[in-house]
Amino acid sequence: MSLNRTALYPLHESAGAKMVPFAGYEMPLQYPTGIVWEHNHCRQSAGLFDVSHMGQVSISGTGAASDLEALMPVDLQALQVGQHCYALLTNSEGGVIDDLIITRRGADDFMLVLNAACKLSDIEYLRQCLPNLCIRYDSHLCLLALQGPCAVDVLAAEIEGIQDLVFMQGREGTIGDVPCYVARCGYTGEDGFEITVADQHACLVAQRLLAHHTVEWVGLGARDSLRLEAGLCLHGQDLTADTTPIEAGLGWSISRARRAGGTREGGYVGSEKILQQQRDGVDRRRVGFMIEEKAPVRHGAVIIDPDGKQVGEVTSGGFGPSKNTPVAMGYVATAWSNEGTRLHAVVRGKPRAIRVTAMPWVAHRYVRN
CA dist 31 and 33 (Å) reads 5
Number of domains in the chain: 2
User: Confidence band (pLDDT; 50, 70, 90) for 346?
Assistant: very high
Q: For 193-227, how does the pLDDT look when each residue is reduced to its tens digit (9 = 90+)?
A: 999 999 999 999 999 999 999 999 999 999 999 99
Nearest by Cα to 300 from 346, 250, 248, 357: 346
180, part of any domain: yes
- 1 pLDDT more than 90: no
Q: What is the pTM of this model?
A: 0.97
Cis peptide leading into residue 131 (ω within 30°): no
313 shares a domain with 172: no
**Is position 337 within any domain?**
yes
- Residue 331's CATH number: 2.40.30.110
The answer to whether residue 13 sits within a structural domain is yes
220 and 293 inside one domain: no
Cα-Cα-Cα-Cα dihedral sign, residues 345, 116, 31, 49: negative
Residues 203 and 328 in one domain: no
**Inside any domain, residue 321:** yes
- In this structure, are residues 331 and 284 in contact, taking their beta carbons and an 8 Å threshold? yes
Strands 284-291 and 325-333: antiparallel
Domain for residue 135, yes or no?
no
Same domain assignment for residues 326 and 220: no
Compute the distance between CA of residue 342 and CA of residue 363 in angstroms, rounded to an integer.
24
By the 8 A CB rule, do 21 and 37 touch?
no
Q: Are residues 31 and 170 in the same domain?
A: yes
* Cα 47 from chain centroid (whole Å): 16
User: Same domain for 216 and 312?
Assistant: no
Asked whether residue 325 is assigned to any structural domain, the reply reads yes
Domain that holds residue 184: 9-54+140-229
Judge whether 239 lies within some domain.
Answer: no
